Amino acid sequence: MTTLASLVMLGGGLIALLAGTGLLRFSSTYARFHAAGKASPVAFLVAAIGAGIELGVSGAASLAVASAAMVLTLPLGVHLLFRAVYRTTPTDQLIVNELAKSPSPADEDGSS
């Protein structure tokens, strides 16, 4: 195994370790999802680059497809998990709540 590929894969492993530490240390569900949703694909991409260096063109092509699938699907999955937690768990951690129901015009003028 080449030294460059080993170092890049080690870097990906360290990023994944940081993501796991964030999952354990952060107090809110939203912060935990953020740690998992941002650091995990970055860790995979870095490790895939290292593995692609080691495997050559044919292996790198397969890793590129897997990386593209992860980058396209993971943000959507984390977003859906955020919304599910928001809709099922009351929280006071959100300063700005853009998903709160806005009052209808009928509610503002007092007529129903």
For residue range 55-101, what is the model confidence (pLDDT) as tens digits?
A: 888 888 999 999 999 988 988 888 898 888 888 877 777 677 676 77
pLDDT value of position 3: 93
Rounded CA gap, 61 and 49, in Å? 11
Q: pLDDT band for position 45 (50/70/90)?
A: very high
At what angle are helices 29-55 and 3-25 packed, to 10 degrees? 170
Q: What is the CA radius of gyration of the chain?
A: 21
Rounded CA gap, 94 and 86, in Å? 10
pTM of the model: 0.72
Rounded CA gap, 55 and 93, in Å? 46
